[in-house]
């Protein structure tokens, strides 16, 4: 199977740099983007990342406008802060004077505003290109990995805020505690989640980078795991050299570490649970159900920090440790780091305890919602939930995300639910795939594979039928967890009457 064509910056963007061709020193670092007095128009401005990007651009001196498809809390907030936002996505939405257009990942080349920009000679940046350019000239922290990016980016941002370092950040999830998914601070620190999909993280040139883990995913973009590893290597190559303070923090235990880190000019340190890691994470077993685990972080054998993790699971201890190291590298002291980690309340849809439902005959059922949609995430999360809550039964409502991911990783999915007593599977959430891919695999195929492996699994549709089934089968002390990157969260909220 031939590798897919590599992503190129938009042809209408003469200032963009091709970041998909690794060179001995990484891709050339572009000059800092001077936005003072420039008029920048954002298409899709209501998205979490795009609205945050617009705020950072405004803070850098740009005169910002934008368009979107409908009203939202984000749009209302932007208008309140002086952004001119229209809901008419036509050529007329572009201001008469416009120096630059930024488009979200969902905007297609034939979008009326993009077509009009090309006709008017207005440069067009994709979201990731703009974020990458805004990182140049700042102390950039870019956090990459197949799993844990949003949690680690949120934790890092929370630590820096609590330490008084006033960062800007962009996170691909909502974290109420830090003000949502984006913030424009007054310092020169910019923290960003670096996603490998479509090789968008090749646009970043961070001072400090982290690679939490690397596994097979986004196989609609990458031909195989080897291509994914090479893409992470390209991302790492763009980190600032050690002579300029550049560092990479990388997972010690993963087998691809040496290949990814080969030939880098930045300083490289490893993080993991093994004693040989430069930074070793140690998790002490929590006490009774619901107890907080104690996490110790060792640097070259010396314990530098210890905290009680408010979030269950070794993976969350690992994410917190990575956030602690990154925050320390830009000036956060250890005492402030510990206090911030112990006060972190988590983010939406990451093992989020929504509440509990009282059953008609007495007793309660707890309900958790989670974004996990990759086999490793599912297995790790279910194990953490079982160990933390110690439920009578664990009922998992899992919505597969993308037909291609489900087909490519079917065997891994089939073995990732060992900790669940009952698995309920709604239809696959259809996004990005072709109609041909949609016909190649169904949720029933996953249920059949789970049942062949001895799991108690069922396929139900629509989502309302799942709520009705939960009302019938749940018992006192059950734990219900809804999982997936689609709209399966509605099941949890409807079951709880939220």
Q: Which residue in 56, 145, 148, 77 sits closest to 346, CA to CA?
A: 148
Say yes or no: 476 and 375 in one domain.
yes
> Of 343, 366, 400, at which residue does a domain stop?
343
Rounded to an integer, what is the distance from CA 478 to the centroid of its chain? 29
Neighbours of 183 (CB within 10 A): 22
* Torsion sign over Cα 47, 49, 53, 56: positive
DSSP 449-488: HHHHTT--EEE--SHHHHHHHHHHH--TTEEEEEE-SSST
> Of 290, 312, 343, at which residue does a domain stop?
343
CA distances from 199 to 214, 235, 346 (A): 14, 9, 28
| pLDDT score, position 290 | 64
* Torsion sign over Cα 45, 46, 52, 56: positive
Q: Are 363 and 476 in contact (CB under 8 A)?
A: yes
Say yes or no: 277 and 362 in one domain.
no
Say yes or no: 364 and 307 in one domain.
no
Say yes or no: 372 and 442 in one domain.
yes
Rounded distance between C-alpha atoms, residue 124 and residue 117, angstroms:
7
Residue 109 falls within a domain, yes or no?
yes
Say yes or no: 371 and 467 in one domain.
yes
Rounded distance between C-alpha atoms, residue 82 and residue 68, angstroms:
16
Residue 43 falls within a domain, yes or no?
yes
| pLDDT score, position 281 | 97
CA distances from 2 to 5, 6, 126, 223 (A): 9, 12, 26, 7
Which domain does 451 fall in, by range? 352-496
Backbone φ/ψ region at 53: left (φ over 0), alpha (ψ -120 to 50), beta: alpha
What total of structural domains would you count in the chain?
3
| pLDDT score, position 47 | 83
Look up the pTM and report it: 0.83
| pLDDT score, position 139 | 96
> Of 66, 91, 125, at which residue does a domain stop?
125
* pLDDT, averaged across the chain: 88
Q: Are 484 and 371 in contact (CB under 8 A)?
A: yes
Q: Where are the beta strands (DSSP E) in 185-315?
A: 189-193, 208-211, 247-251, 267-272, 279-284, 294-299, 302-308
Rounded distance between C-alpha atoms, residue 248 and residue 168, angstroms:
20
| pLDDT score, position 25 | 52
Tokens of 457: 């699994």
| pLDDT score, position 439 | 84
For the chain, give the longest Cα–Cα distance.
68
Say yes or no: 206 and 223 in one domain.
yes
Q: What are phi and psi of 241, to 5 degrees?
A: -65, 160
How open is the CA angle 54-57-60, to the nearest 5 degrees? Answer: 155
Q: Read off the CATH number of the domain in which 263 is found.
A: 3.40.1190.10
Say yes or no: 155 and 269 in one domain.
yes
Please list the pLDDT of the chain residue by residue as tens digits (498 residues).
333 333 333 333 333 333 333 334 566 778 888 999 999 999 999 887 888 899 999 989 999 999 999 888 889 989 998 999 999 899 999 999 999 999 988 889 999 999 999 999 999 999 999 999 999 999 999 999 988 898 999 999 999 999 999 999 998 778 888 888 788 889 999 999 998 888 989 999 999 999 999 988 877 788 899 999 999 999 999 999 999 999 999 999 999 999 999 999 999 999 999 999 999 999 997 666 667 889 999 999 999 999 999 888 888 999 999 999 999 999 999 999 999 999 998 888 887 899 999 998 889 999 999 988 888 889 989 998 998 889 999 999 999 888 888 888 888 889 999 999 999 999 988 877 778 888 888 989 999 989 999 999 999 999 999 999 999 999 999 999 999 988 999 999 999 985
CA distances from 374 to 201, 284, 327, 399, 419 (A): 20, 27, 28, 11, 15
| pLDDT score, position 155 | 95
Q: Read off the CATH number of the domain in which 400 is found.
A: 3.90.190.20
Rounded distance between C-alpha atoms, residue 328 and residue 305, angstroms:
11
| pLDDT score, position 209 | 98
Q: Are 69 and 89 in contact (CB under 8 A)?
A: yes
Say yes or no: 327 and 387 in one domain.
no
Say yes or no: 146 and 182 in one domain.
yes
């Amino acid at each position: 199977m031939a590798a897919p064509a590599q992503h190129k910056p938009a042809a209408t963007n003469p200032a963009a740099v091709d970041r998909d061709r690794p060179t001995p020193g990484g891709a050339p670092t572009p000059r800092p983007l001077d936005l003072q007095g420039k008029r920048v128009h954002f298409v899709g401005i209501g998205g979490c990342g795009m609205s945050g990007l617009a705020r950072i651009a405004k803070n850098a001196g740009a005169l910002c406008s934008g368009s979107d498809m409908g009203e939202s809390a984000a749009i209302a907030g932007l208008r309140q802060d002086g952004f001119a936002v229209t809901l008419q996505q036509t050529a007329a939405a572009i201001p008469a004077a416009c120096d630059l257009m930024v488009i979200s990942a969902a905007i297609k080349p034939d979008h009326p505003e993009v077509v009009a920009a090309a006709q008017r000679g207005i440069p067009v940046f994709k979201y990731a290109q703009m974020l990458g350019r805004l990182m140049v000239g700042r102390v950039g922290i870019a956090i990459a990995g197949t799993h844990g990016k949003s949690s680690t980016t949120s934790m890092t941002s929370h630590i820096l805020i609590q330490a008084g370092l006033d960062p800007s950040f962009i996170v691909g999830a909502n974290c109420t505690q830090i003000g949502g998914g984006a913030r424009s601070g007054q310092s020169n620190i910019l923290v960003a989640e670096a996603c490998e999909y479509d090789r968008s993280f090749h646009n970043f040139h961070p001072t400090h980078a982290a690679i939490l883990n690397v596994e097979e995913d986004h196989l609609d973009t990458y031909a195989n795991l080897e291509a994914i590893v090479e893409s992470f290597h390209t991302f790492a190559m763009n980190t600032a050299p050690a002579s300029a303070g550049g560092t990479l923090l990388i997972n010690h235990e993963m087998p691809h570490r040496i290949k990814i880190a080969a030939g880098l000019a930045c300083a490289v340190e490893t993080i993991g649970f093994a004693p040989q890691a430069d930074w070793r994470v140690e998790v002490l077993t929590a006490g009774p159900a619901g107890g907080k685990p104690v996490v110790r972080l060792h640097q070259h054998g010396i314990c530098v920090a210890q905290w009680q993790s408010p979030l269950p699971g070794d993976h969350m201890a690992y994410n917190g440790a990575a956030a602690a190291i990154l925050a320390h590298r830009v000036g956060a002291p250890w005492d402030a780091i510990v206090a911030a980690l112990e006060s972190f309340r988590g983010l939406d849809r990451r093992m989020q305890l929504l509440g509990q439902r009282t059953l008609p005959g007495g007793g309660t059922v707890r309900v958790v919602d989670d974004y996990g949609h990759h086999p490793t995430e599912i297995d790790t999360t279910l194990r953490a939930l079982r160990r933390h809550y110690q439920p009578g039964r664990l009922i998992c409502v899992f919505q597969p995300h993308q037909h291609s991911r489900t087909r490519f990783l079917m065997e891994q999915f089939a073995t990732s639910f060992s900790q669940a007593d009952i698995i309920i599977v709604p239809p696959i959430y259809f996004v990005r795939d072709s109609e041909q891919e949609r016909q190649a695999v169904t949720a029933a195929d996953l249920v059949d594979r789970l049942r062949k492996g001895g799991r108690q699994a069922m396929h139900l549709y629509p989502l309302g039928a799942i709520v009705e089934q939960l009302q019938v089968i749940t018992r006192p002390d059950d734990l219900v967890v809804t999982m997936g990157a689609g709209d399966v969260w509605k099941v949890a909220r409807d079951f709880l009457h939220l």
